[in-house]
Amino acid sequence: MALREIIILPDKRLRLVSEPVAAVDAEIRRLVEDMFETMYDAPGVGLAAIQVAVPKRIITADIAKKDEPKRPQVFINPEILWTSEDRASYEEGCLSIPDYYEEVERPAAVKVRYTDLAGETREVEANGMLATVLQHEIDHLNGVLFIDHLSRLKRDRVIKKFAKAAKREEKD
């Protein structure tokens, strides 16, 4: 296992649409292990492969609270089959947009089809935090960031702030 660098806004790779995984092989399993190590180290509750600069349709997630045992979950080639009409708001953050949090409204429940690490097709109905994490991370696979769900003014402010920070870092 290895820690991988998380790419940060305004990195243009965050806007790429990730490619489907053709087969769950040793390389994919190694990537998933690295993603978990990176996600836990950050710390975060979800990570899309594109956030570690790999444009593959893979998500790792673990919504266990700090005092609970870890419950790692892997979703390969996830697709949302259904969303509820009920909506829920959660304060979201993103490892690729560090230290910025904002309320985002999304469907309260989702049904997702995905492939597991054994290569089996599975479906999960999720609500609450898992539903939010799945939607957030699937957005990443489609080149969408959680700030895209905010008003244009808030989104533009965040993008400008991170662009300035990136320019300052280039000079140093």
137 catalytically annotated: yes
Find the angle CA(45)-CA(23)-CA(109) to the nearest 5 degrees: 40
> Which of the following is catalytic: 5, 68, 125, 137?
137
d(CA 56, CA 118): 17
Find residue 61's DSSP bridge partners.
Answer: 46, 73
Report the catalytic residues: 137
